[in-house]
Structure 1
Amino acid sequence: MEEPRVFRDEFFPQLLLESLREMRNSGALCDVILICDGEIPAHRLVLSAASPYFRGMFNLGLKESKEERIEIECMDGVVLRAAIDFMYSGELKASDDILLPLLEASSLLQLGSLRSACMHELVQSATPYSALESCGSVANKLGLVELENFFHRLTIEHFEKVAFGDSNQQWLDAPAEAISPLFNHFSIFSYPAALVLKAILAWVLHDTSGNREEHLKTLSHIVKDVNKSELDSKLKSLISHKPDIYEWLSSLCAEIPPAGEVPNKKELQVVVVIGGLSPNGPIKTVECYTADSPISTSWTLYLPDNTQLHHTRENTVRTNLIDRIVPPMKCARVYAASAFLDYEIYVIGGECDWAPMSGEASMECYNTLTNSWKSLPGVPLSQSVLEVDDEASEQDCLRLVGAAAAFVEGDLYVCGGKFEVVKHGENIVYAPPSKWMLPFGFSKGTWAFNATKNKWRKCNPLLQARAYHGAASINGVLYAVGGIGATCKEHLTDCLDSVERFEPWSGVWRNVKLMPSPRAYFGCITFSQYIYVVGGHNLDCCKDTVFKYDTITDNWHVIEHHLRTPVDSLAACSLKYPVDTPKNVQTHAFLLGGRNSHSGIRDANIYNFATNRWHCLQSLICGRVGANAGMLRAPATDPSAM
C-alpha cells in the first residue's frame, strides 16, 4: 500500500499562537483568572499544554481545578504575567531586572523553553557584578552548576575592578551568600592572597554591626597564604581598630620572608587532545597547547608552567618538567565519547585494549589540578549484550564506540553509540566510514552521570539510534546531531541528517529541524546559542563544509568559509560559557587531527567565531584519528600548596 503524502504548513503553529493570543487579549473563551498583583485571564487548556505545573493543578483533582479565580502567591505579578505571555507567544519580552525571578518562575512552572531563554539572556547581559546581584546564588539554588560557575568566573576575572574600582559599593553591599562562593573558587588563587584578604576585610568592616566578622573564620585558606610582613605593611591600617581580628590573622599568617611584589598570574586555558588512532595504532597519550599563547607555539606532552611567579607557603615553586608531563590514559581509546568542564575531561568507551566482558563502557577522568587520571564507574551496558550478539561469552570484549557526551548543568550525559563484541583473540579493525558497515548494535540509550553521587542513571532513549554523531549542550538542553544509524527499509547503515533535543526537566527527546545534509564523524562545537558541525563524512566522502544551528530560531546556516581541506574523525573543542562573553570579544574553537580520505593527519586549526575564518596552528606531534579534545583550565598556583 502506498504511503500517504504529507503536507506540512510551517506557518500554522505561528498562526495558531497568534489566534490564541488574540483570544486571550479579548477575553474570548477564557475560563480561568489568575490573581497575582492584579488579574490575568487565561485558558486552562493553554496553561496545561505549556506547563506541567498548571497541568497538575487542573487535572489532579486539586481544589483549583474547580475554581475560576486562582490566587498565585509564590511569585510577583510582573513575573507571572511575563511567563504567561511567553506561553502564548514563545517570545521572551522582559527587562533585565526580572530575568532572575523569571528564571526561578520557569523552574517552578516547569517551562523548559522559558528557562533556556532566561539563561541565554542572563549570559548575554552578564557583567562582572552579576554574581554580586544574586545571579550565582540563584543559579546554585536551581542546580544550574555551569551557569553559576560562569557568573563566579566573570567576577573573579575582573576581581580588582569589582572590589576596588569606582563601583565597588556593589561589592561592599553584597550579601554573604554572593561573596562566600567566590573565595571558595579555585580561580581566586590567581590573585595574590594579600589582595584577596584586603577585599575581604573591606567587605567585613563595611558592616558596622559586626555580623560579617564570623565569615572570616571560613576563609583561613586565604589567610594562610599571606605572610606577616604583608599583613603589617598592607592590611594592619585597615584593622587597627579591631585588635582581635589582627591577632587572629597574625596567628594564621605564614612565616615567609618578604619576597617582593607577586604579580597576578591568571589561570591558563589549555587545549588537550587525547588518544585516537595514530599511524602506528591506537594511542593513549595526551598532547597540550596553551590557548593563550601565540599561534607559533608548539604542542607538548606536558602542562604549561604557570607557577614560577607564585610563592607557596613553603616558598617553593614547581618548575620540574617531569612533574608537568601529562600521564597517558589507562587504556588506548578511539572514537570514545568525551566532555570537559573546568579542570576535568571525562572519556567514555572506545576502548582498544582487549579485556573480558565487564558489562560497562569504562570511563576515566583527567584533572589538571592533580595532573592525573582516575577511573570512574562506567556506563552500564549489560542489558545490551544480547542485542549485539546472542552468542557473546564472558571471554569476549564488549565495547561502546561512537557515542557522544556533553555536560548539562553539572551532569554528564552520554547518548547513542554502537555496541561491538570483539571475540576473544580477534583484532579490532578500524575501517574508514562506509555505508557497508553492518547495521547492528546502534544504540538509542541515554545515560546521565552525577559526579557527586558517583552514579549513573538511565534516561529516556533517543528517538533514532545513532553513532559517530555529535552532542552539545546549550542553555540547559542536550542536543544529539547527525551520525549514522540503521535504515528500516533496506537494513543498511545510513548517514543521518536528523537532530534531537532533550530537556532534562521533562526527560523527553524531540526532533528539531534537519541538518542541510546528512553528516557523521564531524567535529561538534558550541558558542553562545549556536551549534557548529565541522567537516565530517556522509559515507561517500569527506566534507569541508561547516553548518551552524541556531538553537533559538531552530534554523541551520551554511558558513561561507569552508575548511581548507575535507576531513572527518577530527577532535574539536570550544568553551560553552567563555568568561569574555561580551559580544565583540573574539573567542575561538580548536579543530585537531582527523582523517583526509583514508589517511590520518596532524593538522591543527583554530576557528574565529567573530570572523568565521580559519587559521593554522603548529601541527600535532602525531596524527590522530577519532581522538578527543577539551579546553581545560591550568591552575595559577601549585595545587600541592593548597
Structure 2
Amino acid sequence: MPRSFTKYKEEHKGDRCPLKMTLDPVEMYDFRDTEQSSSLLLQLNKLRHKQIFTDVWLCAEQTEIPCHKNVLVSSSPYFRAMFCNNFMERQQSRIVLKSISADILSAIIDYVYTGRVNIHMNNVLPLMQAAAMYQYERLFEGCSSFLQVQLSPDNCLSMIRLSEILNCESLQVKAKEMAMRSFSDVSTSEELCELSLPELMGYLEDDGLYAEEEQVFETLVAWIHHDPLSRRGSISDLFKKVRLRYIHPTYLFQFIANDPLIQSSTLCTELIESVRRLMFSVSNRYINNPEIKHMWVARRRYSCLDRLVVVGGRKNNEQTSREALVFEEQTQTWQRLAKLPIRLYKATYVALHSVLYVIGGMTTSAKCNQATSAVYTLSLKTDQWRLAEPMLEPRFAHQSLSYLHFIFVLGGLGPDRRVTASVERFNSMFNQWESMAPMPEAVLHPAVAATNQRIYMFGGEDVMQNPVRLIQVYHITRNLWSKMENRTVKNVSAPAAVIDDKIYIIGGYTRRMIAYDIKSNRFINCANLKERRMHHSATILNNKLYVTGGRYVNGHDAIQDSDMFECYEPKTDSWTSKGCLPHKLFDHGFLTLTSVQQTWAKS
C-alpha cells in the first residue's frame, strides 16, 4: 500500500468513513474495453497453438489443425450447423475437409483466431471459394475488395465472368462499372468479341455507357466480324442500339451507310434513309416509322455531358488569345484544352455535332493582318485542332450559328474591310459550303439566334456605327429573308440565346436584357445586367443562360474589360455569379459542347 495512503489513514483514524465523497448520482456508466475482444482472440490463439482445451482437429491433405469447437461454432454458420445438429461430425474429434488445400485451411483458421489473413493473387481464388463454402462473409468480401483493386480495362470482362461464377455481386458491380467507363479500351479487346449477343446488347443499350455513338457502331461491327457466319443475322438488332441522331452526318452517310454489313440489311438501310429524310426536312414532324421515331428521340447517354467551353477572344486587352478552356462543374474550375493553331481577331465560334468550329477572322502577325476563310475544328474527345473545309469568302467581325446539321455565316467585313450582306451555309452532311440569299440590310454586330426553322437577327449597327432598329428574319427551308422595324431593338455587340420559344438578347451597350416571344411576337423585359455590357458571350446549359466576359461601362463612363461569369435563371428571372474567368476576355467564343466524361489540364 502506498505510504501516502497509510499516512492518510493515520491522520483520519476514528473517522467513520474517511473516503466518503459527495457525488452527483448517475444512472449508468457504460464502460467498454475496446481491446478486450482482440485480447481474447489472442489468448485463444495461444491456447490453440499449445493445444490447450482443443477438442477437434480439422484435416486437409496431410495436415491436422487443432481447434476449439466453440470458436468454430461462434465464427461460422457452417460449423454451427455441423457441431450443433445431429450430424456425425458432432461426435468426431477429427474432421476431414475435402476440396480445400492445407494452406488455405490454415489461412482460414488463422483468420478465425486473429481476424487477419494475407491475400495475394496466388491464393485469392481458392481463399474466396473456401470463404463462400464455410460462410465467412467478411473474408469473402475482403477477397472481393482485393480483386477490385486489381481491376483494369484489360481484365474487367474476365472479372465479370469470375464474379458470376463466384456469385460475388460487389465484384460484378465494380467490374461492370470499369467496363462501362473504359469502353474505349474494352471495345478493342478480344474478350469483348467473346460476349454473347444478349451481353453485348446490354452494353450497347445502356444509357451509362462511356462511348460516342461512332464507337458503338464500330464495336458491333467488330463483334460480328469475329464470327460472321453465326453473327451476321444480328446486325439489325444491334444497329437499333446505335443512337443515329448523335452521329456526325459525314460519318453516318459516308462511312456507316456504305459499310457492307449495313448494306446487307434492308432494315438498316431503311433506318439510315429515314434519318437522311429527317435531316433534309429541317423538321421532325415527318417521323412516321415507329422504329426511327424511337431511335431519333432517344436521349444521349448519361456519360455524355454538356460542358461550357471558352475559346479565343481578346485577353486582358493585350492580344488575341489562342486559349481554349472547359469548365468542370464538379470542381468549379477551368481546365485547359489545346491552343488554337493561330491567333484570330474577331473570328466566330460555333458548336455542331459535339465539335467546336472557329470560323474566319483576321490573322494577326508581325508581317500582315488579313481576313481569312479558314475554319478550324476541335473535338473534346481528341483535344486536337484540325483544318476543315474553308468558307467561300474570307471575312471577320461576322456572325455564325448552327441549326440542325447546318452552320450559317452572316455578314461581317470582307478582305476590303467593307460591310457585306452575303450569307454562307455549311452542310455537314456533304462537308461543303454554299451561298445563300443575302441579308436585306448589311449590319455589323447584331444579335442572332436560330429556332423554329428561322434565323432571327436583331439590331446591330450600320457602316456609320449607328444602331439599326431592325429585326431581320431568314426562313431556312425557303432561303428567303424578311425584315421589320421595331423601336424596342437597340442592341450592338450583344449575344442572343434561345430558351423555350423565347430569344434572350443580353445587353449590347446597355444593361437591359429583353426576351422576344416568338409565338406572341412581343418583347418581355427581364432582370437587368449590373452594368452596360457589350462584346460578351452567352450560351445555354440545362435551360439556364450563362454569360462570360465582355466589356462594360463603369461609373466614370470608362470602358473596362471583364472576367465575369454569371448565370440567369428564367424561372426566377434572377442573376447569380458563378465566379470568374481565369482572365479578362471579350469578343470570345462561349459554347456548350457535349463529350464523354474525361479530364483536362488545370488552368
TM-score normalised by the chain length of structure 1? 0.46
Q: Tell me: higher relative CO, structure 1 or 2? Use CA pairs within 8 A at least 6 residues apart.
A: 1
The structure number with the bigger radius of gyration is: 2
